[in-house]
């Protein structure tokens, strides 16, 4: 087996108490199996901003964002057929929009893929609302990662567009 598409509910819901399943996913990832998490809901995305999504990410599972399971399976088939690509390149392509199959790819596009997920939950639609939301979320997320000493998470949050020298919600500078 070279690839797996997980179909979870919502933003990464997976039985996080099933350590046996998590170990299997981690082991498969270490063997080079590409595992992609997609939502089986007709609308919505998967992400790693919640505990269960982060647990899957820590096991090496890629988020499918808003890709349908069918699109993910088709894309995975294409990616796995590329024998001249490295495993990292294959994983990178799975996270990249190549033919309109996903709209919420992880990028530095001001973190709107991450902030957008929260904004949709709060029914916020304007760019100003999303920008305001990012100024509330990013400092708190960065502070939590720093307090845990999780440099990898700090880099991920930076990759979503967070400014590491931005001020917090109280307009106080936060040094990371």
Does residue 39 contact residue 64 with C-beta atoms inside 8 Å? yes
In our burial notation (b when 16+ CB lie closer than 10 A, e otherwise), range 133-169 reads: bbbebbbebbeebbeeeeeebbebbbebbbbeeeeee
- Choose among 94, 23, 99: nearest CA to 62: 94
Residue with tokens 């990410």: 57
90 versus 48: the higher-pLDDT residue is: 90
- Choose among 116, 167, 109, 110: nearest CA to 142: 167
- pLDDT greater than 90 at residue 52: no
CATH code reported for the domain at 3-94 = 3.40.50.40
Does residue 94 contact residue 79 with C-beta atoms inside 8 Å? yes
What does the block give as tokens for 163? 């400014």
What's the pTM? 0.59
Residue spans of the domains in the chain: they are 3-94, 107-176
**Burial grade of 7 (CB within 10 A; 0-12, 13-18, 19 or more):** middle
The per-residue DSSP string of 27-42 comes to HHHHTT-EEEEEE-SS
- pLDDT greater than 80 at residue 148: yes
84-135 tens-digit pLDDT: 999 999 999 999 888 888 875 444 343 445 677 787 778 877 778 877 888 8
């Amino acid at each position: 087996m070279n690839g797996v598409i997980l179909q979870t509910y919502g933003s990464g819901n997976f039985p996080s108490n099933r350590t046996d399943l998590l170990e299997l996913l981690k082991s498969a990832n270490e063997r080079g199996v590409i595992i992609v998490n997609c939502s089986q809901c007709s609308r919505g995305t998967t992400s790693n901003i919640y505990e269960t999504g982060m647990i899957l990410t820590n096991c090496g599972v890629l988020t499918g964002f808003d890709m349908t399971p069918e699109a993910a399976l088709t894309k995975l088939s294409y990616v796995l057929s590329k024998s001249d690509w490295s495993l990292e390149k294959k994983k990178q392509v799975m996270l990249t929009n190549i033919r309109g199959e996903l709209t919420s790819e992880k990028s530095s596009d001001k973190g709107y893929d991450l902030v957008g997920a929260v904004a949709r939950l709060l029914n916020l639609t304007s760019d100003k609302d999303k920008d305001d939301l990012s100024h509330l979320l990013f400092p708190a997320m960065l502070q939590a990662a720093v307090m845990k000493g999780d440099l990898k998470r700090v880099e991920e949050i930076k990759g979503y567009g967070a400014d590491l020298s931005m001020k917090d919600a109280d307009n106080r500078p936060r040094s990371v």
